[in-house]
Amino acid sequence: MRGALLYELGQVPKFGTIDEPTVQKEGQHAIRVTAAAVKNLDKARTSGKHYASYTDLPTVVGNDGVGYLEDGTRVYGQGITGMIAEHAIISSNYTPIPKNLDDVTAAALPNAILGSAMPLIIRARLEAGQNVLFNGATGVTGQVGVQIAKHYGAKEIIVTGRNKAILEQLKALGATQTLVLTEDNDALEEQIKAIHQATPIDVVIDYLWGKPFQSILNAFKGNDINHLTSTVKIVTAGDMAGKEIQLTSAILRSTDIQLMGSGFGSLTKEELIVFNKVILPEMFLLAARGKLHIQTEAHPLEVIEQVWNKTLDPGTRLVITL
């Protein structure tokens, strides 16, 4: 079969042929793949620097995708074998796709939903009427997250980012306040303080970490022992701006901050089943009805080597079609 094959860690996958995978045990399903997104996780695994980097080479790359089961059901699934190929093996924890949702969108959405809906719903347990801050919202996941927060009834949706044009676009998707990130982290801290005083922030979804997140964290620090603060649930889902911060004891003692992470390692097996069986189907239906949007750029499998590291428009997901 045809597929995107990795021959050496650190190299770009190439178009080639390899033996078709077969079902090895109960609970596995063969799928004829029609589309698969290329995500940061996929690139990290090919680099050789990720803890789950590929070991048995050559191999088909790609963590998830959409296609048809042997009975004709069109589904999204996570691959037991590589998904950027004509055929793959997935587990039983798959999600049917609505008829009027196209393959490219169905392939692009799940990772962004995992990185936004799970922090919002499973980790922070967002409630209607709460105020949410997305730190670093101009990427694919942040843009989807803003729409999901609006869908679940968030009142104020504050977004930060460096791309002014996309920040403006986020207003049409549900954002109520935008903050442009600059090198002036003290200014960001003061802006967050002012917003938090006017409309207390209940949930922070952070995709950046590093200095921008440090400023946000400092903004929540209490300065009056007689002042009772509201609870702020902070969920980190990325570290695009840096891998370390300085967390002082005073910050945690002066306000009610609940700091947690969201990722495969922090989600239970049961929560991932909820994602595939409850959350993702609901989001697929929203997208099918035109109420959830994601920007995509699609290319055929044959040009995988040329497009793997292609610079895309900001906030756009690359999808490979088969």
Per-residue pLDDT tens listing for the chain (322 residues): 999 999 999 999 999 999 999 999 999 999 999 999 999 889 989 998 888 889 999 999 999 999 999 999 999 999 999 999 999 999 999 999 999 999 999 999 999 999 999 999 999 999 999 999 999 999 999 999 999 999 999 999 999 999 999 999 999 999 999 999 988 888 999 999 999 999 999 999 999 999 999 999 999 887 655 455 688 999 999 888 888 888 888 888 888 899 999 887 788 889 988 999 999 999 999 999 999 999 999 999 999 999 999 999 989 999 999 9
Q: Give, in order, the Cα–Cα distances in Å from 60 to each of 4, 27, 34, 269.
A: 6, 21, 15, 25
Residue ranges per structural domain of the chain: 2-110+294-321, 116-262
CATH value of 116-262 in 3.30.2350.10, 2.30.30.50, 3.90.180.10, 3.40.50.1220? 3.90.180.10
DSSP 255-305: S-EEEEE-SGGGS-HHHHHHIIIIIHHHHHHHHHTTSS--EEEEEEGGGHH
Q: What are phi and psi of 134, to 5 degrees?
A: -105, 115
With H, G, I as helix, E, B as strand and everything else as coil, classify residue 11: coil
**DSSP E strands: which ranges in the chain?**
2-6, 14-17, 28-38, 59-60, 64-69, 74-78, 87-91, 95-96, 132-135, 157-161, 177-180, 203-206, 232-236, 257-261, 295-300, 316-321
Closest CA to 110 of 138, 151, 144, 137: 144
**Pairing, β 316-321 against β 295-300:** parallel
CATH number of 2-110+294-321: 3.90.180.10
Give the burial class of 77: count Cβ atoms within 10 A of its Cβ; 0-12 exposed, 13-18 middle, 19 or more buried. buried
Interatomic CA distance for residues 69 and 244, integer angstroms: 43
